[in-house]
Amino acid sequence: MRLSTALVTVLGVVLVCVAGPLAAGDGTLSPELAKQLRASAKLDRAGRALHNALTNNEDLKALALNREIVRSHDDVFSHKIKSKKITNQRASGRCWMFAGLNVYRPAVIEKFNLKDFQFSESFLAFWDKLEKANCFLEDMIEMRDREPFDREMDFLLKDPINDGGYWEYLTALIRKHGVVPRSIMPETALSQNTAVMNSVLERVLRIDAAKLRAMAAEKKSVEELRKAKERMLADIYRILVLNYGEPPVKFTYRFVDKDDKVGEAKEYTPLSFYEQCVGVDLDQFVTLAHDPTHPYNKHYELRRIRNILGTPEFHYVNIPLEDLKTITLKCVLSDETVWFGADVTSDMDRADGIMQVDLFDFGSIYGVDLRQSKADRFLTRGGVPNHAMTLVGVDVRGDKPVKWLVENSWGEERGNKGFWTMYDEWFDEHVYSIIVRRAYVPNKTLKLFKEEPVELPPWAPMFALPQ
């Protein structure tokens, strides 16, 4: 339902009229301005009907849903990659981990002829939390002489630890700690619902940060601070064990293939399991991004964005949108699952699994223009990469992608049994990064990774920790 043309015109006129007094005055919301605004909001019959509809419905999205888009929607794809059971991160921010492991799952399934297979996300989440805690405390030691309201210090203290991450976080964890099957370290009630646990960990780490700063003020040495840090990490480790269980050092496992043939039981370490049973070369993947606020064909690095101390900072090459899509299409048509980071706060219907620009027409309801460029949304934090998923199909017409098939990690109850249809226009507006094998990236782009990166601060929009 749309507001009448007359009402929209009146609103426009009033806003123009009050612009003068606002510019000339002190900028306060004066009684005179409030009176003008009240007069501008007089509703005609259509406006009153809209007011009644809005104030008697809790589901604003249902009223705003663009029925033209829904009617024209279909979930037919010209090319699909074979995929298995949909995973479910539940009430946790581990999308980056689930999406990344969904890239590796097919290697195990194919190698051992399995019906399905799932890695233990709890195992990796345990080590991710402990490594992040160590990074935070080490940052506090390094920055012990900084003012408490230093911007970088403030950034770290606002969010000492959380569930979010990137592909690079996952590969760093696998290189150091390996992987295990889900049955070896299954999910727990708190691994699937992390908010309260995270709040406790944050409190502990902030208390520890204050202790380290107090020790530094007493001129304690770095060696003494690190000894204290080790004691602090013991507390974090115990909390994690109580929530997740203790990660295995060794375990025995055997595969049962899709014909119910039972394999030989073997003993593994988490690292040997990855090497022998997964074996995907972690170094063959690169991060490519579309950030319209920075020059293209440049190498960028975000400072202090890592989950394991001593590993490289989060870095990527920024390329034009069409180049990003060309590489993505090439991968999917070659049956390569593509990890991608996107903003899922806009134009995404969780009931039917549709992702399309203007899917929810709030502008017509309220009589305002909500259009904004991708660059402006990025700069004003109206759109940042806050969720990671994988691409497992595409619908191509005349050599151009029309829509993409998305595998999510929100369970089968959301979307179309866990899958989503992402229209190409939505890709243009809301996709910010992809992870692909080097083999699908032009040499001219790969060479950019060898260039000295342009350093960006940790609060840059590209860093929003997909969750």
According to DSSP, the β-strands at 400-407 and 419-423 are antiparallel
Torsion of CA 438, 442, 444, 447, to 10 degrees: 0
User: Quick one: pLDDT band at residue 11, thresholds 50, 70, 90?
Assistant: very low
95 classed as catalytic: yes
Q: Are strands 419-423 and 354-355 parallel, antiparallel or unpaired?
A: parallel
For position 451, what pLDDT does the model report?
98
pLDDT, tens digit (0-9, with 9 covering 90-100), for 300-355: 999 999 999 999 999 999 999 999 999 999 999 999 999 999 999 999 999 999 99
Domain 72-81+281-456 has CATH 3.90.550.10: no
Our measurement of the distance from residue 216's CA atom to the centroid of its chain's CA atoms, rounded to an integer in Å, reads 36
- Amino acid identity of residue 311, one-letter, is T
pLDDT of residue 148: 87
Q: What is the domain partition of the chain in residue ranges? A: 5-56, 72-81+281-456, 115-278
The band of 467, judged by pLDDT with boundaries at 50, 70 and 90, is confident
The answer to whether domain 72-81+281-456 and domain 115-278 are alike in fold is yes
Beta bridge partners of 298: 318
Set 66, 134, 243, 408: catalytic member: 408
| Residue 386 falls in the annotated catalytic set | no
Query: How much is the pLDDT for 465?
Result: 64
In angstroms, the CA 216 to CA 214 distance is 5
Query: What does the mean pLDDT of the chain come to?
Result: 94
The catalytic position among 177, 290, 315, 387 is 387
Half-sphere exposure of 240 (CA within 13 A, CB side): 22
CA distance linking residue 278 with residue 464, whole number of Å: 29
List, for residues 384-415, the tens digit of each pLDDT value: 999 999 999 999 999 999 999 999 999 999 99
DSSP string, 231-245: HHHHHHHHHHHHHH-
Give mean pLDDT, residues 81-104: 96
Residue identified by tokens 């991004």 is 289
> In sequence order, what are the residues at sequence separation of 6 or more whose Cβ sits closer than 8 angstroms to the Cβ of residue 19?
none
User: Residue 8: what pLDDT?
Assistant: 37
Q: Is the pLDDT of residue 21 over 60?
A: no
Confidence (pLDDT) at 7: 34
Provide φ and ψ at 13, rounded to 5°: -65, -45
Lowest mean pLDDT among 9-18, 21-30, 235-244, 267-276: 9-18
pLDDT of residue 24: 42
Q: What is the pTM of this model?
A: 0.92
Cβ–Cβ under 8 Å, residues 359 and 349: yes
Q: What is the pLDDT of residues 160-200, one digit of tens each?
A: 999 999 999 999 999 999 999 999 999 999 999 999 999 99
Structural tokens at position 261: 């043939």
| Positive or negative: CA dihedral 87, 88, 93, 94 | negative
pLDDT at 216 over 60: yes
2 has a pLDDT exceeding 90: no
Distance CA 52, CA 61 (A): 16
> How far is residue 361's CA from residue 430's CA, in Å, rounded to a whole number?
17
The DSSP call for residue 410 is B
- Mean pLDDT for 419-427 is 99
DSSP string, 106-148: HHHHHHTT-S---B-HHHHHHHHHHHHHHHHHHHHHHTTTS-T
Is residue 315 among the annotated active site residues?
Answer: no
Burial class (CB within 10 angstroms; exposed 0-12, middle 13-18, buried 19+) of 67: exposed
Please give the torsion angle defined by the CA atoms of residues 442, 446, 447 and 449, in that order, rounded to the nearest 10 degrees: 160
Give the CB-side neighbour count of residue 231, counting CA atoms within 13 A. 9
* Domain 115-278 classification at class level: alpha beta
Q: How many CA atoms lie within 13 A of 72 on its CB side?
A: 10
Write the CB contacts of 230 (distance below 8 Å, at least 6 apart in sequence). Answer: none
**What is the predicted pLDDT for the residue at 1?**
37
Residue 35 has pLDDT above 80, yes or no: yes
For Cα atoms 80, 166, 447, give the angle at the middle one, nearest 5 degrees. Answer: 80
Q: Which member of 66, 95, 243, 318 is catalytic?
A: 95
Q: Is 356 strand, coil or helix?
A: coil
Would you state the pLDDT for residue 466?
Answer: 67
Answer for the pair 212, 148: CB distance below 8 angstroms, yes or no. no
Which one, of 331, 379, 370, lies nearest residue 347 by Cα?
370
